[in-house]
Amino acid sequence: MYLDKQIESYIYNTGHIIGKGSFGCVYRGIDQNNQKEVAIKVVKKAKLQGESYSLKALINEMTILKKLRSKNIVRLLDICESQSNYYLIQELCRQGDLKRILKQKQLEEQEAIRILHDILSGYQILLKNEIVHRDIKPANILNCNGIYKLGDFGLATQLQKQMMLNSRVGTPLYMSPQVQQNSNYSNKCDIWSIGILFYECLYGATPWFHEKSQKILKNIYEQPLSFPSTPFVSDISKSFIKKCLEINEEDRIDWIDIYNHNLFRQIPFKIQGCNPQLIVTKIRNIIKTRQLNINQLIQNSTQQKKLKISDLELFLQSIDQQFTSEDAEQVFDKLNHKNEDSIPFECLLLWFSQNDIISPQAQDNGSLLLTQNDQSIVNNLLNSLSIQIRLNSISIIEILKDLNVHDDEEITLSKFEQILFKIDTQLSRADIITFFRKINEENLKSIKKEEILKIFYEESELDDADHDDFSISPVHIPIQGPGQKLLSFKNLERLS
C-alpha cells in the first residue's frame, strides 16, 4: 500500500519512485511552499549503521553539491532529517538518466556530442574546485528538459595539487585501469570514464565488457580499442575517444586539450567557474585600458545598501558587458560570509579596496589621454575583440607564440596589426591605430607582450593562487527529531 509522507514542507508518495540505491530510494515530491516538483532522496539511517564510509560518502555528497553551482550539475535544494532517515531535496530531472535513454534509442552522433558538451560544461566547476567525480557513467547523468547534468557525488573527492589518489572506487565498466589496479591516479581517471561513456552513447555498448571486473581489466590490456563499422561515426569522434582511452595516464589527453578539441568547434565552451581573483584582474585591466571612472560607477550604485546576485551582475556589466551571471555568482559567494540572499554594498567596496581597484586618490589620477570619441572607439573595439575571443576559443598566448613575440620585444604597429587580425580579419586599420596609440600612451611609448596579455586578460597567464581551498572532513550529524532541519547543514559550506 502506497502512503503519502511529509518532511517539513515537502510531500511525496511512496509509490512515485524515480530511482533506487543501496541505502534508499528517490521519490518524486512537491515543495508546498511554491508547488514545484522536486526529487527527494531518502537515505535510511539503519542502512548506514556500522557503515562509516557510507556516512562519510553521504556527507561528501551533501557538501559538494551545496558548493557547486552550474546548470549542468544537479542542484541540491535542501536537506532534512527525521528519526529514521536523511532527506536530500534535489531538483527534479523529469526525463530520467542517460542509462534509461540509451536503452530506449540509438543516439545520433551530434546528439551524443551535445550530451558530452553538457557533461564537460558541468565538469569545469569540478576542475576549478579540484574535485574528482570518480563515478561518471550514464546512470549518473540526468536529463532535465534537454539539459544534461552531472549527479551522484557520493564518491567524489578533492584532489590537491601534486596529489595522487589510489582508492578503488566507482563502477568497473567505467573505471580507468589505474583505479581498477589501486594504482596512483589523478583526475584523468574521469577522462577515461568520459571516453567510455561517449563510446557507449555512439555505439550502444562499452568497448570492453565482462561480468567480472578483473576480466574487464584483462580485456583492456589484451584487446586493442576497436570501433564497429555501424553506425557510422566520424573520425574526429573516434580520435577524441582514442585520446581519452589511452591506458597510461601520461599518454591520455589533458583537460585543457579536451576543452579545445575540434570536436567542439561548432559549440565552443563558455568558460565557467571563473576564479574571483581573475575577475579582479579583469576589472583592473579594464580600468587601466579604458580609463574607466570606477568611482563614478560606484557613486551611481551606492543608493543600494544591499546587493543580490542579480544586482551584482548589473554592476559588473556596467564595468564590462562581457561579465556573466556566473561571474556575479562567483563574486557573491566569495563575499557572502553570512550565507544570506544579499550582501552589503560595503563588502564589495572593501573587496575592491583590498585588491587595489579603488583608492582615495582614484578620482584624481585619471587624465584622459584620448578624445572622448577615440575612447569610445577603443571601448567598442575591445568589446568586439573580447566576443571574438570567447566565441572562437582564441588563445592570445598561442597567437603571440605563432608570431614569435618574445617577452622583452617592443611590439610595433605592424606586429600589433598582425596580432589583432588573428582575432578578427575585418578590423579597420584606423581603429587599430587608435587602439595602438591608446596603449602607447599608457605605457610610455612602449608595448610589450605582458601588456597585450593584460589587455585581453589571458587566463592561463594569471595567478590563481587565491583559489578557495576545498576539503572534505567528517561531520557529526545529530538526530534532531522528526521534521527538523539538519543543524550541521548550515555548517557544510564552512568545511572548506
Q: Annotated catalytic sites, by residue?
A: 135
Distance CA 52, CA 474 (A): 10
Rg, C-alpha atoms of the chain = 26
CA distances, 339 to each of 40, 132, 241, 275 (Å): 23, 25, 42, 19
CA distances, 4 to each of 12, 14, 268, 273, 440 (Å): 6, 6, 46, 40, 72
Instruction: Determine if residue 45 is labeled as part of a ligand binding site.
Output: yes
Distance CA 247, CA 493 (A): 37
Grid cell in block for residue 137: 557513467
Environment class of 474 (CB within 10 Å of its CB; exposed 0-12, middle 13-18, buried 19+): exposed
Environment class of 344 (CB within 10 Å of its CB; exposed 0-12, middle 13-18, buried 19+): middle
Q: Which residues are annotated as a binding site for ATP?
A: 45
Q: Which residues are annotated as a binding site?
A: 45
